[in-house]
Structures are given as structure tokens and as C-alpha cells.
Amino acid sequence: MAKGKTVFISFKNELDGKATQEAKVAEEINARLKKMRINTYMMNARAFGLGSSYFKKEIDDALEDSSCMVVIGSDRSSLESGWVRYEWDTFLNEILAGRKQGDIFTVRLQNFEVSDLPIGLRRYQSFDSKNYEQLYMWINSALSKKSVSKNTRKYQFLYNAVFTKREQGGYDVFFPDLAISTDGKNISEAYMYAKGLLKAYFEYVLKYDIDFAKPKTYEYYAQEYPDKIIMMVDAIIEQKESNKI
């Protein structure tokens, strides 16, 4: 595994001796990330037969090497089952303690709502089974983040974008909190243009010390635009502490 560029996939492997739905989705996500040439780690069910000391060390080593985690669950109990809870809780604590920079994404199966996630996971981006393409975009973005030098301040802005499919093809993208918009010939291109627009917007805001609207929640816009695709888009801006951008 390439240190710092690995995606750790966490899920409950078996239930009553049978592969879980989470395991099947994990295989699907793992295969797609491999096609994207992204390093992944997911525990093979056979490894559990080698003893707890063996797979605990393997899990700890993989967590150390990972900068991104995908946690898959069909309900709260599946996310709080023994090793799944250990994996995301350990990863989260390392981030909160400042010992690791990383991102956590949850994938919710069936009718699992964001509000039912364990509280530690609610602060992070979550996807339902219809939004896997968005998940891959977010993972790619997370792994592309550059390290920041000690004399550089990093700002992260996270806003909801509304994607509207055009009859003639392509997508329009609108940030309702900021009243700015862009478009793209497909959803992937529209997403990347939206990221570029958001970054350019906040580079301007920081340079000229302009006030800006605070973002409303994802749930708010999901209700406001029930027939649209809502994605949370982030912009990371690095600014030397002694200079303006």
C-alpha cells in the first residue's frame, strides 16, 4: 500500500454465516476504486480465521497507511458492530487528535438516514446507494489534497451545489447560498468546474476581505430541491500567513 494514499473500506463482513449486503457493496466500491488506480484496503473474511492478534495488527497497519475511509452500513447496529466501530472510531480519533489528516465518508444502504448515523460520523459527507458516482468524486478530491507547509494557513469551504440536468445534455450547477453558477457537459465535468468556481470565489473573498453567506445544511437543500441532485462541494485554499493571496 502507498502510505497516505490508501482508502480503507470498513464494513460488516458476515451475518449468521452469510455475506452481508455491506460486503457486496464493499466489493463493488473496491473494484471501482481499483479501476481508478486508487490503493484500497478491505479486510477479507478469511483473515478472521487467523486469530484476533493477527487481524488487529493488520487493521492497525492499514489505518496508519490510509488517508481516507469509507464506512458502509445498512443500519446503526452494523456501524457499531465490533471491528467496524473499532476501525472508524480509531481513524476518527487520530484525526481529532491532530495525529492524522484524513477524510471519512459513509455509504448508507436501504433506508438508513443521515440522522441515524453515530454522532461521530454525522459531521462527514454521507452517500446513499444512488450516489456512488459522487462518492468516487469525493474520494478522488480527498486524495488529491496537497500537504500544507508550516507557514501556510489552510482554509476549507464546504457548500451545497444543486445540479440540474439539461434537456439538450449536460448539467447546470448552482450554489444557492452564494448565487454563483457554472455548468459541464457531464456530471463529472460539472462537479470539477463547480470545485474550481468555489475555489476562485473564495480566493477573491479572502483577498478583498469580503463577507459571505454561511452554508445551509444538506438536508435543507435536499428538501428544497427534491427533484435535483444535491452535492456538497469543497474548496481548499492555502494562504501564506504573512501575505494576502
pLDDT surpasses 90 at 153: no
pLDDT band at 16 (very low <50, low <70, confident <90, very high): confident
> Does 125 or 107 have the greater pLDDT score?
107
pLDDT of residue 207: 84
pLDDT of residue 150: 54
Mean pLDDT, to the nearest integer, of 110-130?
85
The predicted-structure confidence for 23-81, as pLDDT tens digits, reads as follows 999 999 999 999 989 999 987 655 555 556 667 888 899 999 999 999 999 999 999 98
Say which amino acid occupies 228.
K
pLDDT band at 244 (very low <50, low <70, confident <90, very high): very low
Q: What is the 3-state secondary structure (H, E, C) of the chain?
A: CCCCCEEEEECCCEECCEECHHHHHHHHHHHHHHHCCCEEEECCHHHHHHCHHHHHHHHHHHHHHEEEEEEEECCHHHHCCHHHHHHHHHHHHHHHCCCCCCEEEEEECCCCCHHHCCHHHCCCCEEECCCHHHHHHHHHHHHCCCCCCCCEEEEEEEEEEEEEECCCCCEEEEECCCCEEEEECCHHHHHHHHHHHHHHHHHHHHHHCCCCCCCCCHHHHHHHCCCCEEEEEEEEEEEECCCCC
pLDDT band at 242 (very low <50, low <70, confident <90, very high): very low
pLDDT band at 2 (very low <50, low <70, confident <90, very high): very low
Average pLDDT, the chain: 85
pLDDT surpasses 90 at 162: yes
This prediction has a pTM of: 0.67
pLDDT surpasses 60 at 193: yes
pLDDT of residue 52: 63
The predicted-structure confidence for 194-211, as pLDDT tens digits, reads as follows 999 999 999 899 888 899
pLDDT band at 4 (very low <50, low <70, confident <90, very high): low
